[in-house]
């Protein structure tokens, strides 16, 4: 049970990073990204490719950073004149394109089988101490990501993001370059999502295209909508809440003697129901955005 709890906490930390990253785009910048999971994939495949071609840990980080910067830049650039809802659809399509490329370019990515046997983060440790070490790493990276996000959104740049979300045309009229705000926001948050993917790959020791289905993106969306768009703690809380609920669904199933399909079905019901419920009845999520910013920038 204790080991299981550690595993759940590790997943909570990784999803928190994904949620923080998506919240920066959606909650602060108003960028309706439905392709978030592709950025996670960049980090995961950075780790996997470095392992497959025996390039070492540091090169893995470089590949992850490079891939995520490139994909984020592409996200920011596609349909640069599209309105936000159409842009959202384009991001969904782009994420699918990334997944399909990964599935089909088997010579490079291992195709549908993926790449397995990736080295753990702390190979010299084993068993419980290794798990605790993993948790410590995840917690530390999450903390760094959280502090970086808080710092960013309190800065002039963060104010620019909020203005872009509220009135993009007006933001340009007071001299903000919307395109560079958008690009910067995508690339910065892309790094956080890629960090989650990179650690995940080393933790699970396997990477495959099935980890990049768009349903994962909607799970992250549910986390930030429930937690509260535009609030960093809300995003982290939403991630922990959903991960804990998901972790305990199997126990509920066993207790009530329900069939195995119950677990998968319940996950979908919770994601969909949570999204709809909060959008209809509590727009601000559990932790509403703190309004008011510095306007002297």
Draw the binding track, 110-149, toward other proteins (x: CB under 8 A; -: no contact): ----------------------------------------
Here the tokens at position 101 are 């490329």
- Residue selected from 176, 191, 203, 246 as contacting other proteins according to rule CB under 8 A: 176
Task: Give me the least distance between CB of 93 and other proteins, in Å please.
Answer: 19
Task: Give me the least distance between CB of 83 and other proteins, in Å please.
Answer: 11
Task: Give me the least distance between CB of 178 and other proteins, in Å please.
Answer: 7
Please list every residue from 64 through 93 that binds other proteins, using CB under 8 A: 81
Nearer to other proteins, 84 or 116 (CB): 84
Task: Give me the least distance between CB of 67 and other proteins, in Å please.
Answer: 29
* CA-wise closest residue to 216 among 84, 21, 66, 58: 21
Task: Give me the least distance between CB of 90 and other proteins, in Å please.
Answer: 15
SS3 for the chain is CHHHHHHHHHHHHHHHHHHHHHHHHHHHCCCCCCCHHHHHHHHHHHHHHHHHCCCCHHHHHHHHHHHHHHHHHHHHHCCCCCCHHHHHHHHHHHHHHHHHHHHHCHHHHCHHHCEECCCCCCCCCCHHHHHHHHHHHHHHHHHHHHHHHHHHHHCHHHHHHHHHHHCHHHHHHCCCCHHHHHHHHHHHHHHHHHHHHHHHHHHHCEECHHHHCHHHHHHHHHHHHHHCCCCHHHHHHHHHHHHHHHHHHHHHHHHHCCCCHHHHHHHHHHHHHHHHHHHHHCCCCCCCCCCCCCCCC
Total interface residues for other proteins by CB under 8 A: 19
154 binds other proteins (CB under 8 A): no
260 binds other proteins (CB under 8 A): no
Nearer to other proteins, 165 or 202 (CB): 165
Please list every residue from 180 through 209 that binds other proteins, using CB under 8 A: none
Question: Do residues 225 and 284 touch, judged by C-beta distance below 8 A?
Answer: no
288 binds other proteins (CB under 8 A): no
* Strand residue runs (E) in the chain: 115-116, 206-207
Q: Which stretch binds other proteins (CB under 8 A): 8-16, 113-121, 175-183, 247-255?
A: 175-183
Nearer to other proteins, 113 or 180 (CB): 180
- Residue selected from 104, 106, 140, 166 as contacting other proteins according to rule CB under 8 A: 166
Nearer to other proteins, 176 or 246 (CB): 176
Task: Give me the least distance between CB of 26 and other proteins, in Å please.
Answer: 16
Task: Give me the least distance between CB of 232 and other proteins, in Å please.
Answer: 18
Residues in the site for other proteins, rule: CB under 8 A? 81, 163, 166-167, 169-170, 172-178, 291-293, 295-297
């Amino acid at each position: 049970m204790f080991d299981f709890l550690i595993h759940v906490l590790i997943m909570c930390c990784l999803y928190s990073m994904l949620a923080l990253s998506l919240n920066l785009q959606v909650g602060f910048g108003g960028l309706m990204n439905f392709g978030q999971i592709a950025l996670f994939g960049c980090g995961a495949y950075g780790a996997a490719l470095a392992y497959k071609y025996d390039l070492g840990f540091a090169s893995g980080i470089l590949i992850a950073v490079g891939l995520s910067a490139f994909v984020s830049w592409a996200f920011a650039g596609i349909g640069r004149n599209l309105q936000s809802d159409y842009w959202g659809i384009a991001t969904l399509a782009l994420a699918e394109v990334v997944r399909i490329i990964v599935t089909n370019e088997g010579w490079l990515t291992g195709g549908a089988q993926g790449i397995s046997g990736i080295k753990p983060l702390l190979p010299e440790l084993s068993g419980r101490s290794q798990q605790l070490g993993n948790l410590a790493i995840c917690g530390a990276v999450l903390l760094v990501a959280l502090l970086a996000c808080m710092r960013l959104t309190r800065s002039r740049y963060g104010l620019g993001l909020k203005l872009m979300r509220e009135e993009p045309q007006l933001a340009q009229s007071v001299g903000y370059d919307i395109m560079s705000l958008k690009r910067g926001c995508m690339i910065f948050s892309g790094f956080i999502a890629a960090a989650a993917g990179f650690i995940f790959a080393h933790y699970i020791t396997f990477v495959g295209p099935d980890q990049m289905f768009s349903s994962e993106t909607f799970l992250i969306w549910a986390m930030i909508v429930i937690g509260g768009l535009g609030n960093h703690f809300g995003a982290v809380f939403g991630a922990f809440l959903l991960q804990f609920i998901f972790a305990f669904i199997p126990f509920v199933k066993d207790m009530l003697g329900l069939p195995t399909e119950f677990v998968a079905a319940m996950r979908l019901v919770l994601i969909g129901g949570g999204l709809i419920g909060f959008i209809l009845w509590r727009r601000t999520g559990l932790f509403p955005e703190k309004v008011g910013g510095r306007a002297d920038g």
